[in-house]
Chains A and B, each alone.
Chain A
Amino acid sequence: MSDLTRRELLKAAGVAGAAAMLPSARPDLAEAQTTQKRELVVAQGGDIARFDPHFSTSSNEIRWTFNLFDNLVSRHPDGKLHPGLATEWKLTNPTTWTFKLRPGVKWHNGDPFTSADVKYSFERTWDPKAATRVNTVFTTVERVEAPDPMTVVFTTKKPDPLLAARAAFYGGQIVPKKYLETVGADQFNAKPIGTGPVRFASWTKDDRFVADANPDYFGGKPDFDRLIVRPIPETAARIAALLKGEVDMITQLSPDHAERVNTGNTRVVGALYAGLYVLAVNSKMPPLDNPLVKQALSLGIDREVIVKELWRGRGIVPNSQIAKGDNHYDASLPPLAYNPKEARERLKKSGYKGEEIVIETTSGYTANDKPMSEAIVAMWRDIGVNAKVEVLEYSVRAQKNRDKTFKGLWWSDPTSTLSDPDGMFWRLLAPGGPQDYWRHARFDELGEAARFSIDEKFRGQTYKEMTKIFLEHLPWIPVIQPYEDYGLQKHVEWTPNPNQQFEIRRFAFKFRRA
């Protein structure tokens, strides 16, 4: 989520203190709160490597592929699904979804957009010859048909209640069949053509990506003529660029910096992250195979303190494995409790004999990972757990993830890709999933039933029962649902999207004009 390390923060804070004594050269307040700018400049924490939307799931890239391209369905900042390249969609029978396409849409090169492009795009994701990085997104789909230029029919292997939601996220961007087949994948990546609100103009690696507003965009031309995206990896430098007025918006703002940005001409906006930060547990490894030990560990974490001290209040305490904002989130459940006395008792009852329990953390890969690990280990020592932190480099973590060789607990920040429990905990904890370290027959049965049911009431009850099992066995120990913060000039009016899409279409972005 963020690429900031604590060391960077401390260094930057020290320097900031020294510089604070000098007079400021920031532009005058009143004049800078409106603008006549026709150029939107955004700085993000990393570079773009690929524009072909079927070859990346990294947030630095999907921010822009979601704007160069359109999906059939669009998830707006309100968390709901809205029309995109499809104007309407419905379940025509339990395994058939029919999408009506938007007429009159043109690709950036002038070619007309039709159902052939949609069929081609979906089939490309799983085509072994295309070898995309999103080939597992649409595994529920049996086939795609295009009976006429403005209709697409999906047949799924089993009933799939979430097909429209899947179509709204990564892998679902629609690419131009004719252009891609003519120029090939490499040339398409170098000069991408989409239907979205901005048109690709140029890209200088690690320097800038430039795009022009699409005047013919079906959702209206965006409120600028030109978009410039600059990768500025250092948080301190990214914030300096914002404070000096060189950029209009910055991503990946850590809570520690909010105060500096929330002054003068700049401000902080955030959205509650569509997902959770959890300590995933290797429940095969004794003593973590004992639910009582895991319950004690969960009860031993003072999450309020973590939210307040390490996140400066920019987060909430979760109440289960379902993120707030998702379908079937149960607001009536209390936040996960802190009760050291009860924790000690459950530990005693479990027969825990002081075995070492290890958190394997990265340092700065996910925001606050190492500081949170250190705080939690100290809390666990207080309840009598022999806990320890080990620091891993990111690529080692990725390898352990693949080989399923974590020793005890590790950080995971699952994004809720479908705004539904299925695309969140079930995506990771299901049998054969990437975090398959714990099995429970009833839990598995319910997960499968909910995945393939189109009856939302039934799904709701199912997830309730799963939550009960989850809270007893804790294959994850949820810790926080943080805010995803951005820094903006006050002349920018913008609504962030919880799922890390960066929406610059008319409904989410506008400059405040004088």
Chain B
Amino acid sequence: MAPAGFTVMRAVATFFATRLARALVAVWLVSTVVFVVMRLSGDPVPLLLPPDAPRSEYARVAKELGTDRPLPVQYGVFLGNALRGDFGRSIHFREPAASVVVAYLPATAELGLTAFALALLVAVPIGVLSAVRRNSLVDQITMAIALVGQSAPTFFVGILLILVLSLKVGWLPTSGRGDWTNLVLPALTLGAFTMASIARLTRSALLEVLRADYVRTARAKGLRERVVVIKHALRNAAVPIVTITALQFGTLLGGAVVTETVFAWPGIGRLAIQSIYNRDYPVVQCVVFVSALLFIVINLTVELIYGVLDPRIRPR
């Protein structure tokens, strides 16, 4: 037994090592691209000074910020500091970039997780229902709604929800962060696309599986339909659903930029946009770094879940 266990351990270790190495390369590449693009696209100094500032002022502030140094030198400093977890001082807020980002993170986590949970809780049952009642009225209506949800831009959904549920019906606050009522509209807006995608994918993945031989066998055994669908079919349809769910996390991060702006939600999506406008390099770099890291961690987690769901994918 011992040699076999050892092999599995080694396989798992190799699996992690390669994934981690890939992840580090990805984070480094992303940071470098952002570093270059930000610097090529604009200088923060003119944005900081009043329009009638004399040239000597520009030079002084550039020196203060270090933007007067050659790009390779700036890059070296950036990499060296980033390795130590130091992203520099925010140009706009005049405090450490990392602490700015950390202050904005909880709001995005709250919104993102709620949207995600909402999407899963609504979408999977709907997808299952549509698949089981294929071509019924329920199927047609829910899939039509899902199609709209997938095609409507986040901006439009957000403003529409504000105008209808908040302004006209008066149930919920229009914007801002506060108690749970403030969370409903932005979470719905942010989750809409994900919800629609997951619902549609659940339906098609389940339809595929429901045609499989083992499902027929299960039915032939006389199992109840509910057991057939949930235990035999859904479990086998889970891998594509989990995959798309993980990829959707990236969509959520992107959607947060628009959603947070529409709902005046103080999260890192809005921080990212403002920091780009202000050419606040340190904050943009830190936000991108944190987002890339989150995305990679989630994808790693998903790869582990695959193994749990499907023994065929377990590392050997």
Same complex: yes
A-side residues, CB < 8 A to B, are 11-12, 15-16, 18-19, 22-26, 46-47, 49-50, 55, 57, 131, 133-136, 186, 189, 204-208, 230-234, 236-237, 240-241, 243-244, 246, 393-396, 398-399, 401-402, 412, 427-428, 432-434
- B19 contacts chain A at the CB level, 8 A cutoff: no
**Interface assignment of B162: CB less than 8 Å from any CB of chain A:** yes
Which A residues are in CB contact (< 8 Å) with B71? none
Q: By the criterion CB–CB under 8 Å, are B46 and A15 in contact?
A: no
Residues of A with C-beta under 8 A to B169: 22, 25
Distance (whole angstroms) from the CB of A25 to the closest CB of chain B: 3
- Residues of A contacting B274 in the complex (Cβ-Cβ under 8 angstroms): 46-47, 206
- Interfacial chain B residues near A234, Cβ < 8 Å: 159, 175, 261-262, 264
Segment among B90-98, B115-123, B215-223 that sits at the interface with chain A? B90-98
B16 at the binding interface (Cβ < 8 Å):
no
A207 touches B177 (CB 8 A): yes
Contact of B57 among A19, A135, A231, A393 (CB under 8 A): A135
Output the least CB separation between B160 and chain A (Å): 5
- CB neighbours (8 Å) of A204 from chain B are 266
Instruction: Report chain A residues within 8 Å CB of B43.
Output: 395, 398-399, 402
Given A244-B174, A396-B42, A401-B51, are A49 and B92 also a contact pair (CB < 8 Å)?
yes
Whether B160 and A237, one on each chain, are in contact in the complex, defined by CB atoms closer than 8 angstroms, is no
B164 & A19 in contact (Cβ 8 Å cutoff)? yes
- Answer whether residue B50 sits at the interface, using C-beta atoms and an 8 A cutoff: yes
B35 contacts A by Cβ under 8 Å: no
Q: Which 5 A-B pairs have the closest CB atoms?
A: A25-B170, A395-B42, A398-B46, A206-B266, A19-B163
- Chain B 32-79 interface residues, beta-carbon cutoff 8 Å to A: 41-55, 57-58, 60, 64
Using known A-B contacts A401-B51, A433-B52, determine if residue A231 contacts B173 with beta carbons closer than 8 Å: no
Q: How far is the CA of A75 from the CA of B113 in the complex (A)?
A: 49
B294 interface residue per 8 A CB criterion: no
Give chain A residues whose Cβ lies under 8 Å from the Cβ of B41. Answer: 393, 395
Say which residue of A47, A237, A427 sits within 8 Å of B175 (CB atoms).
Answer: A237
Q: 6 A–B contact pairs at CB < 8 A? A: A25-B167, A49-B92, A189-B94, A205-B100, A233-B270, A237-B264
- B206 interfacial by beta-carbon distance below 8 Å: no
Contacts of A244 in B (CB 8 A): 166-167, 170, 173-174
- In whole angstroms, how far apart are the Cα atoms of A144 and B177 in the complex? 46
Task: Specify which chain A residues have a CB less than 8 angstroms from the CB of B45 in the assembled complex.
Answer: 402
Cβ contacts under 8 Å, A133 to chain B: 48-50
Enumerate chain B residues within 8 angstroms of A232, measured Cβ to Cβ. Answer: 175-176, 264
The interface bits of chain B over 133-171 (1 if a CB of A lies within 8 angstroms of the residue's CB, else 0) are 000000000000000000000011001101110111111
Cα distance, A135 to B94, chains bound together (Å) = 18
A394 to B46, CA, bound (A): 10
A15-B163 contact in complex given A205-B266, A206-B271, C-beta closer than 8 Å: yes
| Complex interface: chain A residues within 8 A of B289 (CB) | none
B residues 80-106 touching A (CB-CB < 8 Å): 92-95, 100, 103-104
- The residue of chain B having its C-beta at the shortest distance from the C-beta of A404 within the complex is B55
The chain B residues found within 8 Å of chain A, CB to CB, are 41-55, 57-58, 60, 64, 92-95, 100, 103-104, 107, 155-156, 159-160, 162-164, 166-171, 173-177, 261-264, 266, 270-271, 274, 277, 279
Nearest B residue to A131 by beta-carbon distance? B64
Contact A240–B93 (Cβ < 8 Å): no
Cross-chain contact B54 with A240 (CB below 8 angstroms)? no
Provide the residues of chain B in CB contact with A399, threshold 8 Å: 42-43, 46
Bound-state Cα–Cα, A361 to B159, Å: 28
Contact in complex: B51, A434 (CB < 8 Å): yes
State the Cβ distance, A131 to closest chain B Cβ, in Å.
Answer: 6
CB distance from A324 to the nearest CB of B (A): 22
* Interface pair A57/B50, CB less than 8 Å apart: yes
Give min CB distance, A252 to chain B, whole Å.
14
Q: Which of B47, B156, B173 has the most CB of A within 10 A?
A: B47
| Known contacts A207-B177, A233-B261: A401-B168 contact under CB 8 Å | no
Cα-based distance from A12 to B164 in the complex (angstroms)? 13
Cβ of B50 and Cβ of A230 under 8 Å apart?
no
CA distance A202 to B43 in the complex (A): 32
Q: How far apart are the CA atoms of A426 and B145 in the complex, in Å?
A: 60
B168 is contacted by which of A22, A398, A427 (Cβ under 8 Å)?
A22
Which residue among B162, B177, B274 has the maximum number of chain A CB atoms within 10 Å of its CB? B162
Q: A483 vs B48: C-alpha distance in the bound complex, in angstroms? A: 26
Chain A residues with CB below 8 A from B174, complex form: 237, 240-241, 244, 246
A236 near B52 (CB under 8 angstroms)?
A: no
Task: For the complex, give the distance between the alpha carbons of A22 and B169 in Å.
Answer: 8
Instruction: Assess A428 versus B277: contact at CB under 8 Å? Given A12-B159, A19-B167.
Output: no
CB distance from A352 to the nearest CB of B (A): 30
Contacts of A241 in B (CB 8 A): 174-176
B175 to chain A, nearest CB (A): 5
Residues of chain A contacted by B155 (CB below 8 angstroms): 11
Q: Among the listed A12, A57, A131, A427, which residue makes an inter-chain contact with B60, where contact means beta carbons less than 8 Å apart? A: A131
Chain B residue numbers with a CB within 8 Å of A135 are: 57
Q: Which residue of chain A lies nearest to B43 when distances are taken between CB atoms in the complex?
A: A399
- When chains A and B are docked, how far (Å) is the Cα of A204 from the Cα of B60? 31
Q: Name the A residues within 8 Å of B279 (CB-CB).
A: 395
A412: which B residues are within 8 A, CB to CB?
Answer: 51
